[in-house]
Amino acid sequence: MIKPSEKREFLLSNGERIFGKVLYEASDTIYIEHATLGVLTLPRAQIAKRLVELILINGDRIVGDVVAETPECLFVRHASLGMLTVPQTQRSTRVVEAILKDGDRILGEVLAETDTYTVIRSATLGTVTVQHQQLTMLNRKIEQITLKTLPPAPPAIEDKPSG
């Protein structure tokens, strides 16, 4: 259980982070005081249990709550799109954005790299070899990360019967 007046960060299933002082806890809701927004009601169903950010080989980002995982697929609850099935073959940790001198951009997964070229698998263009002399920039800041997970929800608080 969270102690009243304890400050805590909550990761929501839509990827947002909320930090505030816990005022009260109910079985399905946590009430916090946010420094700027005032008193907020956080439904426990909106608090992520295993929040992740996935980057697909085409560069798309998905932030959601992992519901289940198999060797073939990851099942993610997305705040706007609902339940998504993400094939493991579509996930990547080596996504780059190649910005060419003519202004074109290629987004995809790095398959191979040397001092003179980078091979990128793009979802729309297929496998492309980009000569480094054709590049303005190779943006490597796009990496898949796992966000910090929250501890499991505490047991429900029950009032003592009056008597």
Q: Would you write out the chain's pLDDT as a tens digit for each of its 163 residues?
A: 555 566 787 877 777 778 888 898 888 888 899 888 889 998 888 887 767 777 776 767 788 887 777 888 888 888 888 888 988 887 766 777 888 888 888 877 788 888 899 998 887 788 899 999 998 888 775 444 444 445 565 666 666 666 5
Count Cβ neighbours within 10 Å for each residue of 48-65 and write b for 16 or more, e otherwise: bbbbbebbbbebeebbbb
Radius of gyration for the chain, computed over Cα atoms and rounded to the nearest angstrom = 22
Query: Would you state the pLDDT for residue 147?
Result: 43
CA nearest to 58, candidates 86, 38, 36: 86
| CB 86, CB 144: distance < 8 Å | no
Give the separation between CA 32 and CA 18, rounded to whole angstroms: 9
Give the separation between CA 126 and CA 88, rounded to whole angstroms: 18
Residues 6+ apart with CB under 8 A from 64: 13, 14, 15, 51, 52, 54, 76, 77, 78, 79, 84
Hey, which residues does 32 pair with through a beta bridge? Answer: 22, 40
Cut 0.85: pTM above it:
no
Give the separation between CA 106 and CA 67, rounded to whole angstroms: 32
CA nearest to 108, candidates 142, 136, 72: 142
Query: Would you state the pLDDT for residue 91?
Result: 76
